[in-house]
Amino acid sequence: MVAWMSYKASKVHGDVDERLQTASVAEISERREYLCRIISVTAFLAKQGISSHGYSETDDSSNQKNFLECMQLLHKFHPFLQRYKAPASCTYLSSYSQNELIGCCSTEVTAQIIQEVKESKMFEVMADEAKDGHTEQLAVYVRYVPPDGNIKESFLCLKKLDGYGAGVITNAVEQVLVSNNIADLKVVAQTYDGAAVMNGSVRDNHNQFPAVQKELHIEQRELLQISNTRWSCQLSSVIALLENFPVVMKSLQKIRRPTALGLHAKLSQLPVVYLLVGLKKLLGITEGFLKVLQKETVDLAQAVHYKSAVHDTVVSQRTAKAAEKIRATTKAACEKNNTQESSLGPRRKQEDG
C-alpha cells in the first residue's frame, strides 16, 4: 500500500528525479538572474570610468566603495535581491570575480571594435606610453571609419614593454595587431607620442637607471619630467634628481655617449649642485602658496596674506648664514658622490638682512 500511494503521488507531483531536475532548473534560473544584476553594475561602473573596489570593504566599513555600495542600493529597492540568498561560495562580490567579469566585458567590447575595423578594411594605428608604477606599457589605439561613416578612435589594449627602443615598440605594435587578427588590413597612418623614447641616449639612460639603483642599494625612484607650465611640479622634479643624484651620475658614466658625458661634466660642478639645492629650498617655500592659488575657490584675503608670508620668508633667506647652510649641504652632497669642488668665486661679505 505504501508503494502504491507513492506511485500515485509520483503521477501527480512527478518522481524524485523529476523533482530534482525542476529544483535545479529553478536554482539555475535564479542564479542567472542574480548574475545579470552583478554584470549590469559592473558594466555601469566600467562605462562611467569609476573604480569598483577600494581599500576597506569589510562589513563594518562606513563606505564599502562603489561596487558594493551600488549592490546595497539595488538590494534596498529590488524585490528579487531581497528574496534571493546567494550561496556563500559564489556571491560574485569579491575583487577576483569583479576582475574576471571586467575581463569578459573587455573581450566583448574589443571583439566589437575589431569587427568594425575589419568592416572598414583600413585603419590608423596610434601608440603612446602608459607607465604603471615602474612598469612601462604601450597603449595602442586604432582610428577607423565604420560603416556609419563617423570616424572613431578606440582603445585596443595595453602592451607591456621589455625595453625602450624603436624596435621594441615596433614589435609590440605588431604583436597587438597580429593577436587581434587585423595585421593583414591596410594601415594608412601611424601616430606615436613620446618620441624621445626613440633616442638612443635616453633609451640607454632608462635601461641603466634601475640597474644602478639596485647596484648602489638605493630605493627605486623615478625621475620626474620638468613642466614648463605647472610650477608645483618643479619641486618634485628637483627633489627626484637630488635623491637620485648618485644613480644619475653613475648611469651617465656608464652610457659613454657625448651627450651623457657632457651632462656628467656639468653635474660634477659644485655651482650646478649648489643651484639645485638652492632651488629646492626656494620652491619648498613657494609650493604651499601655489597650491592655495590652484584651489577651485580662492579666498583673496587669504591669498594676499599668504603672499606676504612667502615674501617675508624668501627675504629672510637672503643672508650669509642661509647661503652658507646651502653651501654646506651642497659640499656634503658632492663629497658623498666624489664630485670635485670647483670655485664659486669669492664669497661676498654682507650683513644679515
- SS3 of the chain: the string is CHHHHHHHHHHHHCCHHHHHHHHHHHHHHHHHHHHHHHHHHHHHHHHCCCCCCCCCCCCCCCCCHHHHHHHHHHHHHCHHHHHCCCCCCCCCCCHHHHHHHHHHHHHHHHHHHHHHHHHHCEEEEEEEECCECCECEEEEEEEECCCCCCCEEEEEEEEECCCCCHHHHHHHHHHHHHHCCCCCCEEEEEEECCHHHHCHHHHHHHHHHHHHHHHCCCCCCCCCCCCCCCCHHHHHHHHHHHHCHHHHHHHHHHHCCHHHHHHHHHHCCHHHHHHHHHHHHHHHHHHHHHHHHCCCCCCHHHHHHHHHHHHHHHHHCCCHHHHHHHHHHHHHHHHHCCCCCCCCCCCCCCCCC
Give the rounded distance of the alpha carbon of 45 from its chain centre: 18
Looking at the structure, tell me whether residues 218 and 296 fall in a common domain. Answer: yes
Looking at the structure, tell me whether residues 184 and 223 fall in a common domain. Answer: no
Looking at the structure, tell me whether residues 60 and 170 fall in a common domain. Answer: no
CB-hemisphere CA count at 13 Å for 265?
7
The grid cell for 136 is 612601462
| Mean pLDDT for the stretch of residues 74-100 | 85
Q: What is the pLDDT of residues 240-291, one digit of tens each?
A: 888 888 888 888 888 877 888 888 888 888 888 888 899 888 888 888 888 8
Model confidence band, residue 352 (pLDDT cutoffs 50, 70, 90)? very low
Q: According to the model, what pLDDT value does residue 225 have?
A: 67
| Mean pLDDT for the stretch of residues 2-26 | 65
Q: What is the pLDDT of residues 93-119, one digit of tens each?
A: 888 888 888 888 889 999 999 999 999
Spatial distance between the Cα atoms of 141 and 182, rounded to a whole number of angstroms: 13
The mean pLDDT value of the chain amounts to 80
Asked whether residue 109 is assigned to any structural domain, the reply reads: no
Model confidence band, residue 10 (pLDDT cutoffs 50, 70, 90)? low
Flag whether pLDDT at 142 surpasses 90: yes
Boundaries of domain holding 130? 117-195
Looking at the structure, tell me whether residues 168 and 277 fall in a common domain. Answer: no
Asked whether residue 107 is assigned to any structural domain, the reply reads: no
Looking at the structure, tell me whether residues 65 and 180 fall in a common domain. Answer: no
Looking at the structure, tell me whether residues 6 and 130 fall in a common domain. Answer: no
Higher local confidence (pLDDT), 226 or 197: 226
Q: According to the model, what pLDDT value does residue 125 have?
A: 92
Check which CATH number belongs to the domain holding 191 and give it.
3.30.420
Looking at the structure, tell me whether residues 241 and 303 fall in a common domain. Answer: yes
Higher local confidence (pLDDT), 216 or 123: 123
Asked whether residue 177 is assigned to any structural domain, the reply reads: yes
Looking at the structure, tell me whether residues 260 and 332 fall in a common domain. Answer: yes
Q: Is the pTM of this model over 0.85?
A: no
Looking at the structure, tell me whether residues 211 and 275 fall in a common domain. Answer: yes
Q: According to the model, what pLDDT value does residue 250 have?
A: 84
Asked whether residue 319 is assigned to any structural domain, the reply reads: yes
Q: What is the pLDDT of residues 152-183, one digit of tens each?
A: 999 998 888 876 667 788 888 999 999 999 99
Asked whether residue 106 is assigned to any structural domain, the reply reads: no
Looking at the structure, tell me whether residues 122 and 191 fall in a common domain. Answer: yes
Higher local confidence (pLDDT), 252 or 207: 252
Model confidence band, residue 15 (pLDDT cutoffs 50, 70, 90)? low
* Percentage of residues of the chain with pLDDT beyond 70: 81
Domain boundary among 168, 195, 222: 195
Looking at the structure, tell me whether residues 180 and 204 fall in a common domain. Answer: no
Asked whether residue 346 is assigned to any structural domain, the reply reads: no
Domains held by the chain: number: 3
Which of 9-18, 88-97, 145-154 is predicted with the least confidence, judged by mean pLDDT? Answer: 9-18
Asked whether residue 87 is assigned to any structural domain, the reply reads: yes
Q: According to the model, what pLDDT value does residue 233 have?
A: 75
| Residues pairing with 157 in the sheet | 140
The amino acid sitting at 136 is E
| Mean pLDDT for the stretch of residues 335-350 | 52
Flag whether pLDDT at 135 surpasses 70: yes
Domain boundary among 195, 214, 235: 195
Looking at the structure, tell me whether residues 217 and 322 fall in a common domain. Answer: yes
Higher local confidence (pLDDT), 1 or 350: 1
Domain boundary among 58, 93, 128: 93
Asked whether residue 218 is assigned to any structural domain, the reply reads: yes
